[in-house]
DNA sequence: GTCGCCTATGTCCAACATGACATATTTCGC
DNA sequence: GCGAAATATGTCATGTTGGACATAGGCGAC
């Protein structure tokens, strides 16, 4: 299909592509989960490197130990927002975060 | 204060540091917001580059045009989760994401 | 002009994430 | 092994985020 026509159809809200389109959602869900996992691991690494307990970090975040535990486990019930806030709170730099995100990508390749 | 002692106190849940400690929260909130903003901008850039309308992207996400609009505006009511999912759905690579995150950092320096 | 199309903004209420708490389970020094 | 500290897991009420819808604003083509 011509590129221009494809874009026109897509602009209209239609998904033009392979018949495996419906699989996309789950594929992207996986990518998302891996990303979350990578960043969750980042939280743990950084926390430990700082010599903080989960409770101490929770205190800093105004959260609770249980939530930090779930966070590091990349539990379904914890949002990326919380993970990211935690990373920033522990003092992660943009470079650190970028590193972990790329790690997620490389993990996929395996 | 000795590094080891400091860590011991922190393990116990105490925040040891400068008296401006209480400012930390808002500082980190700012960092977080800038990050969100940078990624939101990323969504818009990538969407436009793909020639998609907000409605089309919403369709792909199983969301609605209004949410995409709010998302690109980094509205308070949209989470980083949604932004990240969108980025992945549009086909952002880890490298892209890392780039935008770093952009947030550089923006801070200004 | 006005007609389409795209984007922005506001408001519902259902679904989900949150901190808090209680309670396992693991880990580690002794 | 014991005990204490750290971490893991479950549940709940309350606040936040979600898609949906309505509607307003913007912008180019005609």
> Does B11 reside within a domain?
no
B42 or A30, higher pLDDT: B42
The answer to the question of residue B103 being in a domain is yes
Contacts of B85 in chain A (CB under 8 A): 28, 32
Facing residue for B59 by CB, picked from A15, A25, A93: A15
Is B31 inside any structural domain? yes
Q: Which domain holds residue B31?
A: 27-109
- Whether B2 maps to a domain, the answer reads no
Higher per-residue pLDDT: B9 or B67: B67
C1’ D7 / CA B44, Å: 41
Over 90: is that where the pLDDT of B10 sits?
A: no
Q: A82-87: list long-range contacts, CB under 8 Å, 24+ apart.
A: A83/A36, A83/A39, A83/A40, A83/A43, A84/A39, A84/B32, A84/B35, A84/B80, A85/A61, A85/B28, A85/B32, A86/A43, A86/A57, A86/A61, A87/A39, A87/A42, A87/A43, A87/A46
The helix/strand count (H/E) of chain B reads as 6, 0
- pTM here is 0.83
Residue A94: inside a domain: yes
User: Is residue B46, in this structure, part of any structural domain at all?
Assistant: yes
Tell me how many residue pairs between chain A and chain B have CB atoms under 8 A apart: 103
State the best of A84, A89, A107 to mutate against chain B, taking most chain B CBs within 10 Å: A84
Interface with A, mutate which of B25, B43, B56 (most A CBs under 10 A): B56
**For residues B7 and A32, which has the higher predicted lDDT (pLDDT)?**
A32
* Statement: residue A85 has pLDDT above 60: yes
Question: Is residue A9 situated within a structural domain?
Answer: no
CATH number of the domain that residue B59 is part of:
1.10.260.40
pLDDT tens profile B11-26: 544 544 444 455 566 7
Residue of B nearest to A80 (CA): B81
* B23-76: pLDDT as tens digits: 566 788 889 999 999 999 999 999 999 999 999 999 999 999 999 999 999 999
- Domain presence at residue A44: yes
Residue nearest to nucleotide D19 (CA to C1'): B63
Number of domains in chain B: 1
């Amino acid at each position: 299909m011509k590129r221009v026509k494809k874009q026109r159809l897509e602009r209209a809200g239609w998904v033009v592509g392979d018949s495996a389109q419906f699989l996309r959602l789950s594929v992207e869900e996986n990518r998302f989960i891996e990303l979350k996992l990578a960043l969750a691991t980042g939280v743990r690494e950084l926390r430990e490197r700082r010599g903080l307990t989960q409770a101490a970090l929770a205190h800093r975040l105004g959260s609770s130990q249980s939530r930090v535990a779930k966070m590091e486990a990349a539990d379904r019930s914890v949002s990326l927002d919380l993970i990211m806030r935690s990373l920033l709170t522990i003092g992660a730099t943009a470079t650190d975060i970028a590193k972990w995100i790329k790690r997620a990508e490389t993990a996929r390749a395996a």
